[in-house]
Chains A and B, each alone.
Chain A
């Protein structure tokens, strides 16, 4: 089986994987990092979004071997100890989550949006999150959270 090495949330990791192993399977099953979720099997829902070399990627749509040598950030890597990342804090403040299942992917997608756009309009947030499905919130509070989180990220720079 091929061996892959990468950094995940700043730590060097390596594992033997099958050719067909997906990045999300490597994270969840081999590395025990279960914060990244799987909500569908057609690359639609976005619960599995992580950052690969700084870009948000659906980790169910990337083979683990494709991530060899990459720098991965998952939801577990955002907060500093008990201090939430500004985007995480905004989701809490604006009740941008209910069951929590889509949340890791939502937050990771939102963080990338905020990197490009520190003051996104409602329309821009909704367009950006088109690939992340939430069944609980109706997106209303997620949109508010992402707008607030983007501003907070810019302010924290």
Chain B
């Protein structure tokens, strides 16, 4: 192993600039002559939109321009495209209504953009926005999915079947029905997976700039995948060829999925920059983020698990309603289908599974992937159901899991819901977690808590997830409208320093360090000689960006493939320099040697020779040392693990405190353990947030009741404990590094562990399930027999 190579807890290369205030986030940009855009949004959840009078606003101080949907239509600007099509049970296409950049004719959720005011300062733009004369007539709205399905409910989009976007299914309904007939016991659950807001700390921002000399547009944006934005916005919305459109996502302050999608504001500032002939900047205020960033989760599910007399799972039946919001966000249809129902086998050998998923339009903000994206919903459902089954069978919660685990010698394992898991050892992660959490000692801790007047509970969750969504051809057959490969360009410079251009994007993950470690390991070059460049479509050949924990499994493999090519070519150059056969060249620790001799050339010497080819096999080889690889994975990767949560509830207040949290995860090979642990910490915090604190709430009129940090409870430092985190790995079998992915495991495994612990703590109060978030109000209601509060 190189000193700073694979497995080393290297301190991050990117930290210096972030710690000294030198980060370069989109809102930090001040382009020469930039004007400021303020987006005027609907305050009604559903309304007709008539004429928009702009005359008064245009005369206001500092105003440069005001644009509405009519101006975009006049320029033939398209709607925001959806990147994944789902087919209904009968094979017909999902209902895919238009998603205008600025609303036309109707607004469909609070926050729907209506107009943009551009002025010298943001304050002037906001002042002028007050002077717009907007003709709107409010219509009845629907925010709740069950209400949206009732006859006579307000219809969000005409032209479809009521408010149903698609009615989809997966699995074998007949096999499931047959298995249920033979069941010894059926465990049932009705649950809600609460709507969340990703809340990356950096609000979204975008700056558009048009160069009149070259005709080139530049969009600076807070994106997790700038090439995807360039493709979607260029091809479908603004009709600008890629050759004249640069998208640059500089430092991005967290994403968690919410910065994957192509948003209206990106198209607005890019288009408007040419209209007004100067750069146009837009930055969301936090309350605006709540109304315009895609939300996450929001499922209502009924599920049943059939068991035999020994507690073996026979079949699983799942019926889910999934909220799409008012429009289809970029990848929304994929989340409750191929990233959810395909995970319903979990870590268990359940032989028959059938899932039905109805996606519903409502007058709410669009819903799309948020950290975990479909997989947390599947894990939560399974792990709650397994605990309920254990209780109803009178079985131990650990034992029922062990009895149903896919055994470690059964891989590759084909599930009944389309996926083939390549590797895993669910007993190993569970045993590791039980030990690290001192599970055996729990009853003593419970008794001690009781003496202090507290209700203590413990909960387990064992999960698997799927990362690095792929391969492209299969995803394409399932409805993906994009490829799912990744690109890496390794550029060795004449003096031996190296730049990696990656199509993935780092917004907290530490790629500048982890990728550099891969290169240091392979080429024997110091980390200070390696720079990692991401985010700029003018520098990087192509890329699909960072989401779904793909950056190492897919992006890292592309780096390895590019390094293979570099080493191949470098060996040829070394063979020529040392007058040896290429087959005799060995490369180790940055040195090329001829086997059996003391001849040697350093990596730096080879690099210099490649660019100063005076002694070079020009008849056989091109000069230069610069290689690109595209990698399309053969399969998903399947991280898994066991999370154990211990809570204490104060029965006087209903407040739950997480007192211990243990995570033992199998993330495949670990490149930088410090970064891996940090990813787990962050994911677990978000999972605890979902379980105990966070909730995105709409009232019956479609007004968002949790639209700021005053109302949406973000987990804070004093809400959380320190975590016990470890890994127990198996290697991925189909990528060369054996890596699986770690970005989402924390958020997937933790929510059911927390709720299982809360239910355990309340077991003497006759509660079998509690929906998230398990707020003090709900818990106090349960303890005190107040049904209304318990149901809130």
Which residues of chain A have a CB within 8 Å of any CB of chain B? 18, 20, 28-29, 32-42, 44-45, 47, 74-76, 78-79, 82, 84, 88, 91-93, 95, 97-104, 107, 122, 125-127, 129-130, 132-143
Chain B residue numbers with a CB within 8 Å of A39 are 201-203, 253, 286
Cβ of B742 within 8 Å of any chain A Cβ, yes or no, is: no
Say whether A88 contacts B681, CB under 8 Å. no
Q: Are A140 and B723 touching (Cβ within 8 A)? A: yes
In the complex where A95-B12, A122-B722, A137-B682 touch, is A132 in contact with B709 (Cβ < 8 A)?
no
Tell me if A102 and B201 are in contact (CB < 8 A): yes
Nearest Cβ on chain A to B254's Cβ, whole angstroms: 4
Question: Does B438 belong to the interface (CB within 8 Å)?
Answer: no
Question: Chain B contacts of A74 at CB under 8 A?
Answer: 21
- Residues 703 to 736 of chain B near chain A (Cβ within 8 Å): 708-710, 714-718, 720, 722-723
Identify 7 residue pairs between A and B in the complex whose beta-carbon atoms are under 8 Å apart, listed by A's number: A39-B286, A78-B20, A88-B19, A95-B677, A98-B508, A129-B716, A136-B682
B19, A129: Cβ atoms closer than 8 Å: no
Q: Nearest chain A CB to B408's CB is how many angstroms away?
A: 30
* Set of chain B residues within 8 Å of A104, measured between Cβ atoms: 21
| Set of chain A residues within 8 Å of B15, measured between Cβ atoms | 91-92, 97, 100
Q: Min CB distance, B434 to chain A, in Å?
A: 21
Size of the chain B interface, CB-CB below 8 angstroms: 56
Question: Across the interface, do A76 and B508 meet the contact criterion of CB distance under 8 Å?
Answer: no
Query: Is there an interface contact between B253 and A100, defined as CB atoms closer than 8 Å?
Result: yes
Which B residues lie within 8 Å of A122 (CB)?
722
Closest to B251 in A: A100
Q: Which of A42, A125, A132, A134 contacts B286 (CB 8 A)?
A: A42
A99 touching B19 by the CB < 8 A rule?
A: no
A41 to B711 alpha-carbon distance, docked (Å) = 13
A133 touching B714, Cβ below 8 Å: yes
Which of the 9-residue segments B22-30, B454-462, B583-591 touches chain A?
B22-30
Interface of A, secondary structure class, is loop
Q: How many A-B residue pairs have CB under 8 A?
A: 181
| Chain B, range 650-683, C-beta contacts under 8 Å to A | 674-675, 677-678, 681-683
| A42→B709 contact, CB < 8 A | yes
Main secondary structure of the interface of B (DSSP, over half): loop
Contact flag A143-B717 (CB < 8 Å), given A32-B30, A95-B678, A135-B686: yes
A130 to B716, CA, bound (A): 6
Q: Do B708 and A41 touch across chains, with their CB atoms under 8 A apart? A: yes
Compute how far the CA of A53 lies from the CA of B746 in the bound complex, rounded to whole angstroms: 41
| B496 is an interface residue with CB less than 8 A from chain A | no
Q: A97 to B677: give the CA distance in the assembly, Å.
A: 12
Q: Are A95 and B123 in contact (CB under 8 A)?
A: no
Instruction: Take A33-B21, A139-B717 as given contacts and tell me if A100 and B508 are in contact as well, using a CB distance cutoff of 8 Å.
Output: yes
Q: Give 5 new A-B contacts, CB below 8 A, not counting A100-B251, A135-B200.
A: A35-B20, A36-B21, A42-B286, A133-B714, A138-B684
- In the bound complex, residues from chain B placing their C-beta under 8 Å from that of A103 are 18-19
> How close is B728's CB to chain A, nearest CB, in angstroms?
20
In the complex the two chains form, is A34's CB within 8 Å of B508's CB? no
**A98, B709: Cβ atoms under 8 Å?**
no
